[in-house]
Amino acid sequence: MLIGYGEGSSVPAYGLTVLRAAVGTVFIAHGGQKLFGLWGGGGLSGTAAYFAELGLEPAWPTAVAAGSIEFIGGILVLGAFTVFASVVVALEMAVAIWKADLGRAFFINWEQTPGVAHGYEFNLTLIAALICLMLAGPGALSLDARRATHAAGAAAGRARLRAGHV
């Protein structure tokens, strides 16, 4: 058995922490592009124009919602309300595949060929990573894990009191 794996292991799950940090960073960056025009993004006006082209109306509120889900969801995926944030962001990414990418090819357009759009492989990978976080939890170094530890300790204390073992 590898260290840190298996039931009853005392080694924290740092692999989930790495996954959470990477996925959270990607969504913070993409939300920042949509909301604030950071890192070459279109900002709200560019995102709303793109959403209007896709038929996502009303475009402006939808752009605000999508950018906010990605930006705030990315922050929360970093370790607070990870499961909830993963569900919401995964649903948003599924809508992105459905409305923007499904009619395209599967692969990313690595050669940047003009007139050829990117496929949905990256979005699908992000959804898979979010599902992993939903199913496995946040791992070590998260507020979620800290809350769970405190809740487990409090429950154990209440059980000792009920049993008369103080």
Give the DSSP per-residue string, 114-128.
Answer: TT----SHHHHHHHH
Q: Is residue 36, in this structure, part of any structural domain at all?
A: yes
The C-alpha atoms of residue 31 and residue 109 are separated, in whole angstroms, by 22
Confidence of residue 10 (pLDDT cuts 50, 70, 90): low
Residue 6 lies in a domain: no
The number of angstroms, rounded, from the C-alpha of 54 to the middle of its chain's C-alpha atoms is 23
Band of pLDDT at residue 118, cut at 50, 70 and 90:
confident
Q: Residue 81 region, left (φ>0) first, then alpha (ψ -120 to 50), else beta?
A: left
What single DSSP character describes residue 8?
Answer: T
Flag whether 59 is in a domain. Answer: yes
Amino acid at 104: R
Please, which pLDDT band fits residue 105 given cuts at 50, 70 and 90?
confident
pLDDT digits (tens, 9 = 90+) for 27-48: 999 999 999 999 989 999 999 9
Separation of alpha carbons 29 and 73, rounded Å: 11
Residue 165 lies in a domain: no
Identify whether 2 is part of a domain.
no
Nearest CA-CA partner of 69 in 95, 37, 105: 95
Domain that holds residue 58: 14-160
Is residue 55 domain-resident?
yes
Is 107 inside any structural domain?
yes
Q: Tell me how many domains the chain contains.
A: 1
**In the structure, what pLDDT confidence band is assigned to residue 2 with cuts at 50, 70 and 90?**
very low
Instruction: Tell me the CB-side half-sphere exposure of residue 65, using CA atoms within 13 A.
Output: 14
Q: Classify residue 103 by its DSSP letter.
A: T
- The pLDDT of residue 22 is 95
Across 88-117, average pLDDT: 88
9 domain-assigned: no
Confidence grade of residue 1 (pLDDT, cut at 50, 70, 90) = very low
HSE-up (13 A, CA, CB side) for residue 86: 27
Kindly report which listed range (22-36, 67-81, 84-98, 145-159) carries the lowest average pLDDT score. Answer: 145-159
**What pLDDT score was predicted for residue 97?**
93
